[in-house]
Amino acid sequence: MKGIAILALSAVLAVTAGTSHAATRHASLQAGVARLTHTQSREIRAAGEWHRGCPVWMSELRVLTYRYYGFDHGAHLGQIVVNMSVAHPLADVFAKLYRLRFPIRDGAFASTYGPHPDQSGDVTASFECRNAAASPCSGGRTHHWSMHAFGEAVDLDPRENPYVGCGMTRDKTAISYMKRSHHRPGMVTPAVRSAFASIGWGWGGSWFGSTKDYMHFSTNGH
């Protein structure tokens, strides 16, 4: 019995220590806007998200740390990289989403830019220096920068809000979410659209025609 008690106590201490360590890491992040650290800048370059020739300088980007409500019904802190000109307005939007208890699956900086990014693609993301995707309906190339390349776009829960071209999506796990009338957690709602509209941002789900980008919000709606 004494041995069992010792083992039980050790387990409790181990869990407590782990929880305290996690809490310390969690507490080290504070909601707000900050310049990228040297480590974050290096990770963004290593991930190929920024390179020479991008339409914005690295110095024009900021890290927005925001509180979000997860699919586990818990509170978390996420980080996205955005243009410094939109960082503070977006902070207000994410505060509204948190109050709405709109669930976000994964908002961790490391899931997008870290050494081991989430390969599922189901990550709430923002900055990515790339060209705009051409509609599969028309094909070809746009030869225009994506709004993500300016740090002026956000993608929310890609699985629950898929990119749909000509009525199709490449993400097989998102097929059931193409039916937008059947609402489920994580799907963009009128309240979410209103939160972004309050700062003048448009929604890809409002695009005319059969191509929709339900996850996408940006300064000009494109």
Q: Which of 201, 202, 205 is nearest to 215 (CA)?
A: 205
Question: For residue 54, what are the contacts with CB-CB under 8 A and spacing of at least 6?
Answer: 129, 149
The pLDDT tens digits for 7-63 are 333 333 333 333 333 333 444 678 899 999 999 999 999 999 999 999 999 999 999
Residue type at position 65: T
How much is the pLDDT for 14?
36
- Per-residue pLDDT at 93 exceeds 90: yes
User: 211 lies in a domain?
Assistant: yes
Segment 89-94 shows an average pLDDT of 98
User: 135 lies in a domain?
Assistant: yes
Per the CB < 8 A criterion, the answer to whether 124 and 157 are in contact is: yes
Segment 106-128 shows an average pLDDT of 87
Alpha-carbon Rg of the chain, whole angstroms? 20
Q: Give the model's confidence band at 217: pLDDT under 50 very low, under 70 low, under 90 confident, else very high.
A: very high
How much is the pLDDT for 142?
58
Residues 151, 78: Cα–Cα separation, whole Å: 16
DSSP-derived pairing of the beta strands 103-104 and 61-70:
parallel
Residues 204, 13: Cα–Cα separation, whole Å: 49
Question: For residue 187, what are the contacts with CB-CB under 8 A and spacing of at least 6?
Answer: 157, 160, 161, 177, 180, 214
User: 103 lies in a domain?
Assistant: yes
Query: Sign of dihedral through CA atoms 164, 90, 202, 220?
Result: negative
Range in 17-26, 73-82, 165-174, 210-219 with the lowest mean pLDDT: 17-26
How much is the pLDDT for 195?
98
Q: Taking all residues of the chain, what is their mean pLDDT, rounded to a whole number?
A: 84
Bridge partners of 75, per DSSP, are 69
How much is the pLDDT for 17?
35
* pTM as predicted: 0.83
- Return the higher-pLDDT residue of 151 and 17: 151
User: 2 lies in a domain?
Assistant: no
User: 16 lies in a domain?
Assistant: no
User: 85 lies in a domain?
Assistant: yes
User: 51 lies in a domain?
Assistant: yes
Could you please report the per-residue DSSP string of 22-51? HHHHHHH--SEEEEPPHHHHHHHHHTTS--
How much is the pLDDT for 141?
61
User: 123 lies in a domain?
Assistant: yes
The total domain count for the chain is 1
The pLDDT tens digits for 154-199 are 999 999 999 888 777 777 878 888 888 889 999 999 999 999 999 9
Q: What is the domain range of residue 109?
A: 29-218
